[in-house]
C-alpha cells in the first residue's frame, strides 16, 4: 500500500473550490445511483426512502469516522436473499412465488438487527485487535457464503426476465459493453446506462405506463410509517424471530465486504484507514447506518466500490465531495415524481440488471477465495466450502421450537453457522497459520 496519496485527503472545501466540488459530488451521486435504486426496485422498498437513507447513512458514517474516509454508503445487494426469504414465497405448494410487501417491515427489522452485529465485532476489534478477531471469519467461510447468496438469487432474476427477454437482454448487453469497453464515466456507471437505454427502448415500444407519474407530487416526505419497523406487529414473535434468524447471518458476509472496501479505499487514497480512524470506527459507522436506514424502511447500507472507482478516476480524495453527493441524494428523495418515474421501469429490465448483479455477487465470492489464496488441495477447505454451498443451495432448513416460539433457520443462515463451526472444529488451515502476517481479506466490492 502506497503511503503517498496523489492528492491530499484533507484538502479543504475552499481550496478545492465550490464549483469543482459540486461537479465532483454530482459525479459521485451518479456513480452510486444505478445500483442504489435497483435494490428497492427488486425488493419493493420505497425509492425515495432508499435515497434518503443512503445520503443520511453516508453523513452518519462520515460523522463517526471523523470525516476522514471518502466513502459513500449505498444499498447493499448482499441482503437481497434475506428480503426474499421473508417476503417472497408461494401461496400454495408448488405455486408461483409472490412478493408480500406487507412483510417488508419484518425484513427491515431483521436487517436492523444485522447492523448491530457490526457493533459487536467493532467492540471486539477495539478490545482484541483486528487480526485476532478476523481469524473467526476467514475467506474459506465468507467466500462460499457470498457465492451462495448470488446463486440463490439467480432464479429470481431469470423469472423477471421471462416476461420480455428482449428488454432484459438489451439491459444486460449494454451493461457488459459499457463495463468492458467503456472509458471514463461510462465504465463507472454501466448499470445506469444499461437502465436508461433499455428504458428508452421500452418507452418506444409502448411498454411503460406513466399514469402514476402524472399523479405524483413534485415534493413529498420520503418516509412512510407503514413501511418502517413501526409496521411490525410485535405480538407476532414467530414472524419477527424468523426474519431475524434468516437475515442476521448475512452480516458475516457484508462485514467482509466492508473490510475489503475500506482496504480498497485505503489503497486508492494512500492512507491506511484500517489504522486511522480504525476498522472499529468504520464498522461502527457502516453498522449504525444500516440499522438507522432499516428502522425507517430503507435497505441495508454498504460502502460502495463504484465510488472508489470515481476516486481513482478523478484523483480527488477530499471526503467533502462525497458528502456533497450524499446531500444530492437526500434532496432527490423529497421528489415523489422522480421516484414515480423510477417505479415505471418494467420488471424485465430490472431482471436484466439483476442477471448481472446476482452473478457478480457470486463472482465476488470466488474472487475472495482467489485473492486470499485459499488452498483447495486441503481437505478441510473442500469440506467447509462443500457443506456451505450444498446447505445454502439445497434448501436445507432447521425448525426451532421452544415453547410457543417457532422459527426456522433458513438455508443461508444454517450454511453460515455450519461454516463457522466447521472452521473452528477442523485443524487450523493456512489462513489461520498466516493470520499474524497478513492484512485483512481483500476486495469484496459489488462493482459491475
- Residues 384 and 419: their CA atoms lie apart, in Å, by 6
User: What is the number of domains present in the chain?
Assistant: 1
Tell me if 273 is assigned to some domain: yes
Distance of CA 348 to the CA centre of its chain: 21
| Among 30-39, 108-117, 193-202, the least confident range | 30-39
- For the record, the C-alpha cell of 309 comes out as 472507482
For the record, the C-alpha cell of 134 comes out as: 478476523
- Domain presence at residue 441: no
Asked if the structure places residue 148 within a domain, the reply is yes
445 falls within a domain: no
Answer whether residue 141 is part of any domain.
Answer: yes
Name the 3-class secondary structure at 427: coil
pLDDT for residue 13 is more than 50: no
For the entire predicted model, the pTM comes to: 0.71
88 lies in a domain? yes
Tell me: pLDDT of 6 over 50.
Answer: no
Task: Please compute the mean of the pLDDT values over residues 361-373 and round it to a whole number.
Answer: 81
Spatial separation of the C-alpha atoms in residues 260 and 43, rounded to whole Å: 25
* CA–CA gap between residue 13 and residue 436 (Å, rounded): 40
Which residue in the block uniquely carries the three cell numbers 452485529?
117
Q: How far, rounded to the nearest angstrom, does the alpha carbon of residue 68 sit from its chain's CA centroid? A: 22
Report the distance separating Cα 252 and Cα 250, nearest Å.
5
Q: From CA 77, how far away is CA 254, in angstroms rounded?
A: 9
Is residue 397 assigned to a domain?
Answer: yes
Please, what is the average pLDDT of the chain? 81
Grid-cell match 438469487, residue found: 153
- The grid coordinates of residue 297 equal 424502511
Q: How far apart are CA 393 and CA 164, in angstroms?
A: 27
Closest CA to 136 of 448, 327, 417, 335: 417
Tell whether 6 is covered by a domain: no
Helices (H) and strands (E) in the chain, counts: 21, 6
Q: Determine which of 95-99, 233-237, 356-360 has the lowest per-residue pLDDT on average.
A: 95-99
Helices 104-128, 279-295: axis angle to 10 degrees equals 160
Domain with 235, as residue range(s), is 16-426
Q: Please choose, from the candidates 78, 100, 63, the residue with its C-alpha nearest in 3D space to the C-alpha of residue 299.
A: 78
Give the range with max mean pLDDT: 156-160, 165-169, 344-348. Answer: 165-169
Amino acid at each position: 500500500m502506497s503511503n503517498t496519496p496523489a492528492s491530499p485527503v484533507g484538502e479543504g472545501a475552499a481550496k478545492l473550490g465550490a464549483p469543482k466540488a459540486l461537479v465532483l459530488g454530482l459525479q459521485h451521486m451518479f456513480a452510486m445511483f444505478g445500483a442504489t435504486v435497483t435494490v428497492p426496485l427488486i425488493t419493493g422498498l420505497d425509492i425515495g426512502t432508499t435515497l434518503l437513507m443512503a445520503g443520511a447513512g453516508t453523513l452518519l458514517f462520515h460523522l463517526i469516522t471523523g470525516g476522514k474516509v471518502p466513502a459513500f454508503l449505498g444499498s447493499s445487494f448482499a441482503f437481497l436473499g434475506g428480503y426474499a426469504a421473508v417476503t417472497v414465497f408461494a401461496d400454495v405448494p408448488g405455486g408461483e412465488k409472490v412478493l408480500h410487501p406487507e412483510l417488508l417491515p419484518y425484513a427491515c427489522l431483521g436487517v436492523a438487527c444485522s447492523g448491530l452485529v457490526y457493533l459487536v465485532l467493532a467492540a471486539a476489534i477495539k478490545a482484541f485487535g483486528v487480526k485476532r478477531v478476523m481469524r473467526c471469519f476467514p475467506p474459506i467461510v465468507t467466500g462460499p457464503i457470498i457465492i451462495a447468496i448470488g446463486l440463490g438469487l439467480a432464479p429470481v432474476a431469470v423469472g423477471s426476465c421471462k416476461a420480455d427477454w428482449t428488454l432484459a437482454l438489451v439491459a444486460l448487453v449494454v451493461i457488459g459493453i459499457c463495463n468492458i469497453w467503456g472509458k471514463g464515466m461510462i465504465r463507472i456507471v454501466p448499470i445506469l446506462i444499461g437502465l436508461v437505454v433499455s428504458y428508452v427502448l421500452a418507452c418506444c415500444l409502448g411498454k411503460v405506463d406513466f399514469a402514476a407519474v402524472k399523479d405524483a407530487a413534485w415534493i413529498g416526505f420520503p418516509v412512510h410509517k407503514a413501511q418502517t419497523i413501526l409496521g411490525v406487529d410485535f405480538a407476532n414473535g414467530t414472524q419477527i424471530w424468523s426474519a431475524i434468524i434468516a437475515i442476521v447471518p448475512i452480516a458475516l458476509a457484508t462485514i467482509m465486504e466492508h473490510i475489503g472496501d475500506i482496504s480498497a479505499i485505503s489503497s486508492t487514497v494512500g492512507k491506511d484507514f484500517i489504522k486511522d480512524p480504525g476498522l472499529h470506527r468504520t464498522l461502527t459507522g457502516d453498522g449504525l447506518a444500516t440499522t438507522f436506514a432499516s428502522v425507517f424502511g430503507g435497505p441495508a447500507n454498504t460502502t460502495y466500490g463504484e465510488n472508489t472507482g470515481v476516486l481513482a478516476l478523478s484523483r480527488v480524495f477530499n471526503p467533502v465531495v462525497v458528502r456533497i453527493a450524499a446531500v444530492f441524494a437526500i434532496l432527490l428523495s423529497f421528489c415523489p415524481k422522480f421516484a414515480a418515474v423510477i417505479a415505471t421501469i418494467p420488471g424485465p429490465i430490472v431482471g436484466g440488471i439483476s442477471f448481472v448483479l446476482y452473478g457478480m455477487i457470486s463472482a465476488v465470492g470466488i474472487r475472495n477465495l482467489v485473492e486470499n489464496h485459499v488452498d483447495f488441495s486441503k481437505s478441510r477447505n473442500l469440506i467447509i466450502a462443500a457443506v456451505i454451498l450444498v446447505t445454502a443451495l439445497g434448501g436445507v432448513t432447521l425448525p426451532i421450537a421452544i415453547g410457543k416460539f417457532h422459527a426456522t433457520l433458513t438455508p443461508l443462515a444454517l450454511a453460515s453457522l455450519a461454516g463457522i463451526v466447521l472452521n473452528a472444529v477442523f485443524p487450523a488451515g493456512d489462513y489461520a497459520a498466516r493470520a499474524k502476517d497478513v492484512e485483512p481479506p481483500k476486495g469484496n466490492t459489488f462493482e459491475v
